[in-house]
Amino acid sequence: MSGGLAVVRSLGAARRSLTPAEIDDFEQELIDQWCLALAATGAVDSTVLQERAAIFEFARFVARHVWTALPQDADRWLGSLRQRGQAVSTVRGKAGSVARFFGFLDFRYQGDIHALTGVVVGQPIDEFNRPAKTDYGAGRVPPPSEDVERLFTGWRASLPEARKYLPAARDYVVASLWRRVGLRINETAMLDIRDWRPDLGPSGKLHVRFGKGSNGRGPKTRLVPGINATDALLSWWLTDVRHQFGDDWENPDAPLFPSERRDPDTGRCTRVGTEALRRGLASATVRWLPDWDGHLTPHGLRHYCASSLYEQGVGLKAIQELLGHSWLTTTTLYVHVSDDHIERSWNQANQRTTSRLIAVEE
């Protein structure tokens, strides 16, 4: 199987009997057509390359033309990936790539493949070998509110005594955004100074320009309101701290959260990396919430944000828009309610009913 891109021809044209080399080219055309279809949906280049790489990996393992692959081949391939120690999410992602490719072949080119090869293409990733999302949410159930409050209260109080005050303050503010408005870690790192718009709405809004697009599509933008005291937090950051990183604090295109490292050409601070932000949260967790050491992650705080807002009475639709989810079903997976949530909701509903009855009687 060739690793390079072939010249894409029309697959709908009548074909004569092909030589082995032409059959190989036909296989390459099918993969190229799949990549073109992905690009047409708006998938970014990295996603297209990732999907293509998984198909090539599967085809090399099968060592036959892809349309001959059987579920038994997929069984062995998926088993080999796990034996090599690949993460569950990685195996699931590769299986999904292969399943989508074979669905594409079945829908668009079943007739061509059968006419040229005599093979009826089937789906090798079926309900029996498809990796389940049994690990979804593992390690992401957030700490209870009292633990999160203890973490951030201790963290905030320790800032004036921090050995390196500026990165400590930055990491605290960033983690607070994960906690308060559920930003993703990459979304936070990519914010510029201009992205905080205190003039929009009653509490200001963050312009998230690098939100995660669904199904590998490009960045999805959204405006995140400065609720949950986010406006006060960012006001403190921009008024008291940000200018201490360098004289670019008045440049709207400068990173909102800079690194201590300097650009050798401009002498200004570069943008903070996501790993530095992860380390900041991990260090604070070790100190102020040791029972959650190794378990509390930036994404876990995003789950905490969704759960806490829901328990405060914010509707799922509003939380969906805040988090930037394309589907409401995704948002529901982020909401983890306390053990007594049902009882409290029942009591509140009864209180509302009683209040209405009293009002009617009066």
| Residue 198 DSSP SS3 | coil
Give percent above pLDDT 70 in the chain.
Answer: 85
Burial bucket for residue 67 (CB in 10 Å: 0-12, 13-18, 19+): buried
Mean pLDDT of the residues in the chain: 86
In order of 198, 207, 249, 271, 303, the CA distances from 192 in angstroms are 14, 9, 10, 9, 24
pLDDT band for 299, please (50, 70, 90 cuts).
very high
DSSP-assigned beta bridge partners for residue 19: none
Tally of residues, the chain:
362
The answer to whether 318 and 181 have CB atoms below 8 angstroms apart is no
**Res. 204: pLDDT tops 70:** yes
Mean pLDDT confidence for 200-209: 96
Start-to-end CA span in the chain (Å): 82
Mean pLDDT confidence for 96-125: 91
**Res. 138: pLDDT tops 50:** no
d(CA 162, CA 287): 13
Strand-by-strand arrangement of the 196-197 sheet:
196-197, 205-211, 220-225
Chain centre distance of CA 57? 24
Domains of the chain: 20-117 (1.10.150), 145-344 (1.10.443.10)
Q: Shortest CA distance to 306 belongs to which of 317, 292, 296?
A: 317
Q: Shortest CA distance to 172 belongs to which of 307, 301, 268, 319?
A: 301
**Res. 292: pLDDT tops 70:** yes
The dihedrals phi and psi of 206, each to the nearest 5 degrees, come to -95, 130
**Res. 170: pLDDT tops 60:** yes
